[in-house]
Amino acid sequence: MRIGVPVERIAGERRVALVPPTVAKLVKAGHEVLVEAGAGQRASFPDQTYADVGAVISDRDTVLGADIVLQVREPAPDEVTAFQKGTVLAGLLQPAQQADLLTALGHQGVSAFAMELVPRTTLAQSMDVLSSQATVAGYEAVLLAASTLDKLFPMLVTAAGTLPPAKVFIVGAGVAGLQAIATARRLGAIVSAFDVRPVVKEQVMSLGATFVEVASVAAEGSGGYAKELGEDQQARVAEILTGHLKEMDIVITTAQIPGRPAPRILTGAMVAGMRPGAVIVDLAAESGGNCELTRVGEEVIHEGVRILGPTNIASAHAHHASLMYSRNLQTFLDFLIKDGAVALDLEDPTLGPMCVTHGGAVCYGS
């Protein structure tokens, strides 16, 4: 098989779909890997590191003409005509927001797979892109908050007196939230966390954080994801969180519901009750935000509280993010390629739910 890795063209995207160690394994397995010149440069993987493991450094048209094209983000609609009929495309395609792209891919005869639709099963765990990239996002969110806060994280005993540790509150204890907890704890903060899924309490406490409980609130959906709360439950959560937020220096929100806008958890009134100088990092900014004051890609100051809505936060640590993403794609290829050929079965419980276009048609949502 000819596998192509193009340069990511979305502004600010520094990750690359495949890294040299993965390419080496694919070449050893008999595949030809075509890497567009400069594809890994922004993730600290120069062209020579790909050439050294057997990749062919090529131009963009050649790469996009491969049998399988692997990307981090979705292609531009005007690039779709560069794909061959029957090409397999895999990447973070945002199918719920990219109807025009899906139509174009279907018309071109591309079999497209959205990596964010990997089923939450044990079998597919090693290609769970959302989890791997959320690990990076949770880590970076804490660093971003620490660099913005007007306090130090750890308790310090100095000749000028003792400085108390920062208080950090994590909303949502999924992969990003748990990584944020662990990172904030390593930096010396006092950490607490909340999640609508009581089952995560043990995980939160195992990392040395306090779990904020709200009586009679439990909302776990399929695949271990959270689901939306009812109005009464939302009111109880708001009451408890309002009081807790008043003491916090940093709040990191990570709550998201697959395929739907992020739940609104922090209101303007709740933010106004926080201390001046506090920092909110909203990791759900791109899907609507957990805070009603969040603005995508911007910093908002409300009553002295700084609210950050970062985008593409995993790209901040492009080298390690790419390493994990590449391993996810390697597993995807293991599922897809059998005996040297693409073996696409839409009834397959792993690949089927990920396929968004195939056979000239859009199959997402069908």
Catalytic residue among 108, 111, 131, 192: 131
Question: What amino acid occupies position 277?
Answer: G
Closest CA to 117 of 220, 15, 223, 197: 223
- First and final C-alpha spacing in the chain: 29
Is 59 assigned a catalytic role? no
User: Are 346 and 352 within 8 A, CB to CB?
Assistant: yes
Is 120 assigned a catalytic role? yes
Catalytic residue among 225, 233, 234, 264: 225
Dihedral of the CA atoms 100, 104, 105, 109 (nearest 10)? 150
d(CA 218, CA 11) in angstroms, rounded, equals: 39
SS3 341: strand
Catalytic residue among 128, 195, 249, 282: 128
DSSP state of 228: P
DSSP state of 265: -
**Regarding beta strands 355-358 and 341-342, do their DSSP bridges make them parallel or antiparallel, or are they unpaired?**
unpaired
SS3 340: coil
d(CA 364, CA 135) in angstroms, rounded, equals: 27
Is 233 assigned a catalytic role? no
Catalytic residue among 60, 120, 185, 295: 120
User: Are 135 and 324 within 8 A, CB to CB?
Assistant: yes
Catalytic residue numbers, as ranges: 120, 125, 128, 131, 225
